[in-house]
Structure 1
Amino acid sequence: MSFSVPSIDISAYLNGGSEDSKQAVAQLADSACREVGFVQVHGHGIGDDVIAGLAGAMDEFFADKTVDEKSEFRTPPGINRGYAPPKSEATSLSLGVEPANKMNDFFEAFNIGLDRSYYPDVELPEDDYQENVWPSETFREPVLRYFHAVREVASVLMDVFEDALGLPDGYFAAKSHAATGTMRMNNYALTPGLEVTLDGDLRGMGEHTDYGVVTLLWADQVKGLQVLGTDGNWHDVSPDDGALLVNLGDITARLTNDKWMSTLHRVKPPVVDGTIQRRRSVAYFHSFDWDAVVSPLPQCVDAGEEALYEPITVHDHLHAKLQGSRAGVSNTSAVRESSRVRASL
């Protein structure tokens, strides 16, 4: 069975396209979300200069700073902000899949996100809207420029998804008065002084599904990202020229009773001549309000079919996932996803 990631152009939603053109986009999105769970998104409107600024800021931090300098911005596992060094996480634990060496994901990362200052008129818990840390203004400015741009694209995708699912306008906005969102900048490269065994089991990022509503990914066109297809095999995926790779998260799978797929994926860093070829990626994880309750939509539960998920708040769902990947506490509630991972290994 061949595997490919479908492409859609969302410019009709950005540029005031006709209802017919929008409906055509929504239908393509529906098919992609049902059949693959990943999509190449074109026409997103983020300029090349914005992406170049983001990439330059990442190089400034990951490539130009020493291990000690980067570690000044490390935060505890309970704080989903700042720097995470290599081998400090195990993403597969978010599904309850135990790796051979507990915290062994090879990537290093820097996280920012929406904090309470974005919603000054709303009383919000700090745990869900944590303060950002910034290494420098030359890092902060281009990163925030991209962050605001990709948030706008996420908002447009919510409109596409409403149309694709036949939901009324504003359905998702009602769950997003104070939307939660985190952006993770990932770097896959050998860190000087870090001892790593270059073997076939090396994990760039372990098998996982994303936790939120939808993920928007900018990435280098370097091999490494792999997606688990419905054929049970892992397939290499890289972004098209100029495209964002977009995939669904667990919350959307819950809403659609698994009609739309939160697809399993992982990163296997390519080893070339005994070294890892550097790969950069930036994932924006869009989600709803911290206290929004998520359960299957009635129209997504067919006659004679049972709801696959109990209602859960965004906070409780994300907390269980992050306890796995960042704090090493295996998530025991992801039974279906973990069984799919084990069957593929």
Structure 2
Amino acid sequence: MSITVPVIDISPYLHVSGGLDHTDPAVQEARAAVARQLDEACTDVGFLQIIGHGIPSDVEAGLAGALDDFFGQPLDAKKSYTRPGENRGYSPPKSESLSMSLGVASANQMNDFYEAITVGSERSWFPGLELPETSYPDNSWPTEITPSFRPAVEAWFREASRVSRALLTAFTDALNLSSGYFDEMVDHSIDALKMNHYTLPEGDIDLTGELTGMGAHTDFGILTVLWADRVPGLQVLDREGAWHAIEPAEGALIVNLGDAMARWTNDRWMSTVHRVDPPVVNGRIIRRRSAAFFFDGNHDAVIETLPGCEGAAAGDCAAGYPPITVADNINAKLAGMKDGIAPSDAGREAARVTSAS
């Protein structure tokens, strides 16, 4: 089975080149066409690539430079920003296992060889709200070792947030929901940007045994906007259990759905299992960087079947998922990823991973 990850121009849902008149019939028709394409992609594969996102090239270059600056620092300096048990700060190589977010252990459980630094929503961003520190912790910015890191990353964070919210508007149309349906579920969203670097030294290699760049997993929230180097590594799992490699198209960002959207739609839309293998070209490992913006929703938003999706799933899933809050869903998956504690309700996704060829 082949798998197609479509490239979709989302510019009708964004203010670019002076803005759009959303009451213009031509714009409305263009938006309807985008919504149809999104519905098809989310139903068939759960992954897509977007162009027309309007992120300036200098902001993208700033992000890439920030990653190079930080990950090029000595390991001991980076480790000073480690936050054990929290979804913030630095994660050294082989300190996480994404497959355990689905309860699927590897032979060497914490075997993902990437390193990462994560920043995200803080309580201080939402004055007047009593938000839990566990979901909205303060960030650890590596200002002392890379002074330019924070402004460059914050610029990308703002742009990725803008794009994510435009996509949610398009998803609302694609699902035939009322305008603004999700607004009250994302007005203090837990957003996180996880910046990754795959750390095996470049050069000729002989890969033996189990070595995982990033283990097989699904994302946890509503959607993910991914910037990545145009090199091999990312693979997605089809419905028959086979893996397929995808790379970003020129100027495109990769978008995939997370578990919250799959649960909301009762699996009408897919939260697709994916992984990152060692980035190898012609027998040589090459550098791979990525930055995944996770648009996860409010900590107290309840994920339960959306109107019109009650009969979307088949078999034993037809009744829908039990309700769960965004925070409880995320925390269960993080406990697997960081602490090796398998979540209790990831059986379907785990079965797909273990049966993959």
* 1:271 Cα deviation from its structure 2 partner: 3.9
Matched letter for residue 129 of structure 1: Y
CA 1:49–1:200 in structure 2 vs 1: closer, same or farther (change >3 Å)?
farther
Residue 232 of structure 1 aligns to a residue whose secondary structure is coil
Could you tell me which residue of structure 2 aligns to residue 207 of structure 1?
216
The 5 A counterparts of 1:1-345 are 1-15=1-15, 16=20, 18-63=27-72, 65-77=73-85, 79-136=86-143, 137-190=147-200, 198-199=207-208, 201-271=210-280, 276-302=285-311, 306-345=318-357
The unaligned stretches of length 5 or more in structure 1 are: none
1:83 touches 1:110 (CA, 8 Å); kept in 2? yes
* 1:176 Cα deviation from its structure 2 partner: 1.4
> Which whole-Å deviations, capped at 9, do the CAs of 1:16-44 have from their partners, x for residues lacking one?
25111100000000000000100001100
* 1:303 Cα deviation from its structure 2 partner: 8.7
CA 1:290–1:23 in structure 2 vs 1: closer, same or farther (change >3 Å)?
same
Residue 193 of structure 2 aligns to a residue whose secondary structure is strand
Matched letter for residue 23 of structure 1: A
Could you state the TM-score of these two structures normalised by the residue count of structure 1?
Answer: 0.95
Matched letter for residue 262 of structure 2: A
Matched letter for residue 149 of structure 1: E
Aligned pair count? 340
Aligned-partner Cα distance in 1 for 2:312–2:171:
23
Aligned-partner Cα distance in 1 for 2:313–2:84:
46
The unaligned stretches of length 5 or more in structure 2 are: none
Aligned-partner Cα distance in 2 for 1:304–1:329:
28
Moved more, 301-310 or 174-183: 301-310
Could you state the TM-score of these two structures normalised by the residue count of structure 2?
Answer: 0.92
Aligned-partner Cα distance in 1 for 2:305–2:206:
44
* 1:7 Cα deviation from its structure 2 partner: 1.4
Residue 158 of structure 1 aligns to a residue whose secondary structure is helix
> Which whole-Å deviations, capped at 9, do the CAs of 1:84-137 have from their partners, x for residues lacking one?
000000100000101100111010000000101211121111110010011123
2:5 touches 2:47 (CA, 8 Å); kept in 1? yes
> Which whole-Å deviations, capped at 9, do the CAs of 1:174-206 have from their partners, x for residues lacking one?
1112111111000012269xxx99325210000
Aligned-partner Cα distance in 2 for 1:129–1:304:
33
1:189 touches 1:276 (CA, 8 Å); kept in 2? no
Aligned-partner Cα distance in 1 for 2:342–2:107:
13
Aligned-partner Cα distance in 2 for 1:69–1:44:
35
* 1:258 Cα deviation from its structure 2 partner: 0.1
Residue 216 of structure 1 aligns to a residue whose secondary structure is strand
Matched letter for residue 336 of structure 2: G
* 1:315 Cα deviation from its structure 2 partner: 1.0
Aligned-partner Cα distance in 2 for 1:22–1:58:
34
Residue 125 of structure 1 aligns to a residue whose secondary structure is coil
Matched letter for residue 183 of structure 1: L
1:36 touches 1:261 (CA, 8 Å); kept in 2? yes
Aligned-partner Cα distance in 1 for 2:230–2:8:
19
> Which whole-Å deviations, capped at 9, do the CAs of 1:201-250 have from their partners, x for residues lacking one?
21000000000000000000010000001232100001111111000000
CA 1:66–1:275 in structure 2 vs 1: closer, same or farther (change >3 Å)?
farther
Aligned-partner Cα distance in 1 for 2:163–2:312:
35
State the Cα RMSD in Å: 1.8
CA 1:339–1:49 in structure 2 vs 1: closer, same or farther (change >3 Å)?
same
Aligned identity (percent) is 50
